[in-house]
Every structure is written in C-alpha cells, then in structure tokens.
Structure 1
Amino acid sequence: MKILHIIRSVNPEGGGPIEAVIQLSLTMQAQGHTIEILSLDSPDNQALINECPLKVNAAGPAKGVYGYSRNFIPWLEKHESNYDAFIINGIWQYQSFAAHKVLKEKKRPYYLFTHGMLDPWFKRQYPLKHLKKYLYWYWGEYPAIRDAAAVLFTCEEERILARQSFWPYRCNEIVVNFGTAGHIGDAEEQKQKFFEKFPSLRNGRFLLYLSRIHPKKGVDLLIEAFAKNLNQADDLQLVIAGPDQVGWQNQLQDLANRLGIANRITWTGMLKGDLKWGAYYSAEAFILPSHQENFGIVVAEALSCSLPVLISDKVNIWHEIANADAGLIAADTLNGCHELIEGWINLTSSQREALRHNALNCFRTYFEIGNAAKSLLSIITNS
C-alpha cells in the first residue's frame, strides 16, 4: 500500500504530530508499505527536508499563519492517483481545507487526525479566536471532518472532548491506537553525551520537562510549584527542555529570578537524538502539567525509558497512566502541580522503583508503535 501523509510542516519544532507521523510511517515501511509526506514546507528548505527520514513532497512555501500555498492543490491534483490512501494531519490550516477540496472532487477517501485541535480548552482559553474559528467552521473545516472516511482520535478522552467545541458536528469517529517507537540507542552512552553537554547536572537529581515552551503546557505553574517544594528537597533541580515557539522563555526566566530559583533550573533548548534520550535516562521523573495535551508523544517516550511521569489530568492519556500505576496525576493548577512534585519527593525508594517498572510495562501495553501501526492499517484496509 502507498500512503500519503498530509501535514503543515515536517519541522520537529512543531511538536508531536510530525514525530508521530514519522514513527508510524517507519514502522509501516518496515512491513513493506510505502509512505510519503506532502507538506507546506518550502522546497528551498533542503536542510529541513533532508532531516526527515521519509520522502517529503514540499508544496510550499506557505504564507502566514493559515499556510496558504498556490502550489499545494496543483501538486495533489497531479499526483493523487499515485496513492492508495491519504491521511490528513491537523486542522485549521490550509492543508486540511485544500486536501479535502481535491480528494472530494476526485472521490478519493481520506482519513483525518485532528491531533487535539478540537479540544474545548481552546474555546475557553481563547474565546475571540474561537469566534473566528466558528465563522470558518461551517464552510471551511467542518466539511473536511464530515466527509472523511474516518476522523481518527488517539484516545477515548480526545474523542469525547472533540464533541464539545463546535456545532454542527457529525463524523465517523474512530479511536485508533497511537504511540511511538520508544527508546533507541545505548542508554549509557546517551547519558554521557547529555552530561558532557550539561556537566552541572552530572551526579545531581532533577525533574525533566521536555516539550514546547508554550502557555498551554503550564510551564509557569511548574516553576512556581518547584519553588514551593524546594525546602523539601534542596538538592533537586529542574531541567526545562524544548523550543521557545512564542517568545515566552524570557518571562519565565524572570519569574524564576523573582522566586530565587534561577540557579536551580537548566534551560537546554530543544533536545534531539542522543541528547533527548540521555535526558530521559538521567532524570528522576518526567513532568508535564499541561492545560491541554491531546496525546503526549513525549509522555510515551519517557515511559519507554522506564521513567515515571508526573502529569496533569488534562493530558488525555492520563487514564492509561493511572491504570498502569506508572506515575502521578493531579489537576492543571498551581496546587495540582505542587502536589505532583511534593508527591514525588515523598515517595520511598521502593515506591519509585515500582513506578519505574510500571512505566515500561505501561509503554509496552498501550503505546508501542507496532500496535499503533497495526491498528491504523486495519482501519484503512477495512473501512
């Protein structure tokens, strides 16, 4: 089978969707399928395109936040007959609108991952943006969702939440297994590379936040809660790893300065490859107090490294984490984040070891990429 994934960009700084596309695709390719990507990246950005391990058909450059490109529709009209299946990743940008237009005209079925972009958190947090989206919904985005062979959700929580944001809402909902390949490489070598890059963390203990630096991730709560817990663990440090997409890091560093904990936080920027895996294996626990998190590829990655996860109940896979006893869960508030850190500090060494054991079992049970690829292929071939 030849499958075309359609997505805004293959830039890894965009977060989990492109990483999930890559991991799913590599697994499917190993099973004999052919997978390509159609993106709105500029074909002139060869460094970015070459970094992706899949064939990228760059139909940009995209203009503005919406990502309009005059090259996208002509490319898809010319090449759609070369593919057996189409998967649209993400909504609210040009790729979903334009792909729907072409594929409906050609009578080609397609599948659509919303990747959490129908979560009602955005409705509550950004009411003016929500109103603008409502004006676009009926004629722009809703038809792409309504006409999809299936709208794919990565967990039951995401499917239920998606019904609460817009009306009308009608589609063929399917929950598909989702995940990642997990850890690859030599853990000890990766730890050494991480400590060579950040020597002040060697022989210390730290909590790891690894995700985009964005208001929806609750990084401000994390810093404030960390400051509140210092008296209970004066040797504990915090590592904040991820790209600063919206220019928020300076404000967060000012907050840390005001709280007197700037010397206890290491800002690493985005970590990739061995440095990323080295960070997972060097940390005591992974923490993500998000206000909204559709799936959380980074959570699954942490679990694959036997790393317990401290997450909010707005990370949509928190039920699976709780069922497996693979971490701690609390509300996405300052008190909730305080409870996560305090709860971890107060665990005994045997309790922490049990969580590490459960973390790896949780990954293998719920989030291993082979199961996810099998589930997606079954939907495509049987629907």
Structure 2
Amino acid sequence: MTDPQLALASDIAIWASLAVLALALISFSAHLAVTGAARERHDKVKAREKVRVGVGADGEQPADTVDDDRATGLTDSTTPTTAAVEPPTVSHPAEVTRRWGVIGLQLTWLATFGVVGGTILRGLSVQRWPLGNMYEFAIVAASFALIVFSTWSLKRDRLWLGPFVVLPVMAVLGAGKIWYTEASQLMPALDNTMWLSIHVTLATLSVALFIIGAALGVAFLLRDSAEKRSRIRGWLAGLPEGDKLETMTYGVHIFAFPLWTFTLITGAIWAEVAWGRYWGWDPKEIWTFIIWVVYAAYLHSRATSGWTKRHATYVALLGMLCIILNYTVVNLLITGLHSYSGVST
C-alpha cells in the first residue's frame, strides 16, 4: 500500500530543500568571491613588500617578514604549534570574514536534513527502501553527497568547495524532479529487500562520492590552468593550490572506486537470484562495467609516470560523464531487463 500524504510530505521536503540549496549556493559563491578578492589583494601587497624590503645578502628571508601561513591562517596567529603541523588548506587574510561561508554551510545542513527527511518519508510512504526508480535514486544519492560534504566541512575548512558540490547536487535533485515517479510498489524483479538495500545503496553512495570527486577535479583543472598562466585572480584565488586539490580529488576516488566494485559484484549476485544468471550483457550491466573500467583507468593513469595529473583528471571526469549517460540514456532510451526507471516513455 502507498500513503499519499507521506508521499506529498516527501515531495514538499525535497522542493523546500532545493530552495534552501539555492540560497546556500549564493552564500558559498559570495564567500569564495570575497575570500579570493582579499587573497589577491594580500598577495599583491606581499609582493610589493618583498620588492621594497628585498632579500638578505645570504639569501634568507629578513627577520621582520612574517611567515605567510601564520599571517594568513584561519585562526589567530598566536595559535600554538598545531597550526604549524597542519596548516589550513587555504590561507586567508586575517581581516577576511568567513560569515558568508558559514551561512552557506548552515543552509546546507538545513537542506541536508530536508533531503534526508524527504527520502525517509518517501520510503515510509511505500513501506520499502526508496530505491526503486530514477527519482528515488536521485534523492538518495543527493542525500549521501550532502551528508559527506557537510560532515567533511565540520572537521576541515571546506567552505570553498561549497559551490562545486551544491550546484551538482541541485542538478541531481532537479533531474529527479524532471523524471519524477509517483510513489508505488516495486516490479517483481526488484522485490528483494536485502539485495535492493545492499546493491542500490552501494551504487548511490559511490555515485555521491564520484560527484564530490568530480567537483574537486573541476576545481583542480580551473586552479591549475590559472597557475600555469600566472593569472590567479578573483574567486580562483580563494581555492587551495592546484596540487592540494588534485590530491583531494585522488583521495575521494580511492574511497569511491571500491564501493563501485562492490556495486558491480552485488549486482551480479542479485541478477542470479532474480534471473538465474550472474551476467547477461544487459545494457545496464554493460554500462556499470564501463564505468568501473573508466575509473580503474583513472586510478592507473594517476599512478603512471607517463601521465600528467591533468590528463588523469580528465579520465575521472569521463567516468562522471559515463555515470550521467548511465542514469539518463540507458534508463530512458535503451530497453533491457533493468528498464525500471518508472518514467513513462
């Protein structure tokens, strides 16, 4: 049975969360713009001071020159040695407020509760795991992406990452609304609570991590291009150095790839339970494997000396493109055993 009132409450929660995320995107963008502009001014002043003061005859920095990391840290310059052991990812001029970024993070947390709440209500309305169609896949993936980003931002300064995560999450929720499916029961092949919860939960969690990885990859490519041209201006100055961004990109994919591997394995097991074979070259199975191959190629190219980090990052973004094609084209236009998008075509 389906509870229409709970389903309606779920829809309202998702729509309200989209509106809150739009406000969070504005706040994060303002934070990045303000921080970048202040950082750019700070670097210009520092460069002029270096020219005026000069470098000591022995090649060492003059004693009255303040270390950049301590002068521009997020905390007060009197912070003890922990700041020296683990400096902030982005050095901020002391006079720059983080107000806009903090507001953006607070709004993101509010939206996270809204999306997670809407997802739970959707599941309660149909009395099953909300993972049976494209719309439900979208809201669960968005929930995971928001939880990961919001939690990560509590431990480290990741306010600069806000626009790069919130925008694609809004796109995912928007796509889910475009291909919205009324709350209903599952088709027989999917009516297996254990494998539905294991296989599709792994898929949504790995996709959420891939989204964050792609966001970091785009940030890295933009910052790296600016560094190569020596034109780090505007909001780009508010991002961490390119090398740090690339390292974070790689780190997120290191976590996401094993999850996608288990997605592939559990899908094969579920296929044997539902259809009596582990692999049948169904379009969805093929594309799941293609995505696995592309991300495996990224990790391999990242560890290969003949590849630059930029070229390897392009491979990672190709993997995200394959995920998008798998979610849209394969679900909507290609007929197969996995044609359960729930969208009338």
TM-score (norm 2): 0.26
Higher strand residue share: 1
Q: Kindly indicate which of the two structures has a greater share of residues assigned to helix.
A: 2
Q: Which fold has the larger relative contact order, with Cα–Cα distance below 8 Å and residues 6 or more apart in sequence?
A: 2
Q: Which has the larger radius of gyration?
A: 2
